[in-house]
């Protein structure tokens, strides 16, 4: 007994496959986002950052150039996905849906407090890390549409509410991939 006519089999199979990929993109491990960082006025830092949902939070890969060689730079997800001000200030404060104090990764902290970037001798930071407390697509903790900032100085992880990490030298907006 043939329930599907041969002429309908291919369109039906393609529809089912496209549905599977849409469902997969909603599942942990399938969701991705990225940001293209561009220098703020008077600076030269820029690069790309990718985010991928995983079982242990978001996996982050950042490759930033134009940094001060050998120095650490504060790195944060900010409230607003708006880099229009030229100095990065239009992104607002750190993304903090839980109302926590600023702190180091692994501690209670703003959701947007990321590990500092360490530039090599050529002013390049190429780092991979996992971060908890943020997501792609989950209401309340979604990073999509948020700003991403690289700061001029290291984050001290103590000074409230910013970590005393100085000027915003690169800015980007996180978008769904």
Residues noted as catalytic = 76, 78, 94, 102, 110, 113, 151, 168
- The SS3 of residue 85 is coil
Phi, psi of 28 (to 5 degrees): -55, 140
Count of CA atoms in the C-beta half-sphere (13 A) of 93:
12
Instruction: Fill in the DSSP letter of residue 132.
Output: S
Cα 66 to its chain centre, rounded Å, is 19
Cβ atoms of 147 and 92 closer than 8 Å: yes
Nearest to 153 by CA among 106, 111, 119, 120: 119
Six-digit token string for 116: 């500092």
Phi, psi of 2 (to 5 degrees): -100, 110
């Amino acid at each position: 007994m043939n329930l599907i006519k041969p002429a309908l089999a291919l369109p039906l199979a393609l529809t089912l496959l496209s549905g599977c990929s849409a469902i997969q993109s909603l599942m942990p491990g399938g969701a991705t986002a990225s940001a293209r960082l561009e220098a703020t006025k008077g600076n030269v830092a820029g690069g790309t950052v990718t985010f991928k949902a995983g079982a242990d939070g978001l996996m982050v890969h950042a490759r930033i150039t134009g940094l001060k060689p050998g120095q650490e730079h504060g790195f944060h997800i900010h409230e607003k996905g708006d880099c229009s001000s030229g100095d990065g200030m239009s992104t607002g404060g750190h993304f903090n849906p839980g109302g926590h104090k600023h702190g180091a990764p692994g501690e209670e902290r703003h959701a947007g407090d990321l590990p500092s970037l360490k530039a090599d001798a050529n002013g390049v930071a190429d780092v991979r890390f996992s971060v908890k407390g943020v997501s792609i697509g989950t209401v309340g903790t979604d990073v999509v549409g948020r700003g991403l900032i690289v700061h001029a100085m290291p984050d001290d992880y103590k000074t409230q509410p910013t970590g005393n990490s100085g000027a915003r030298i690169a800015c980007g907006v996180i978008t769904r991939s």
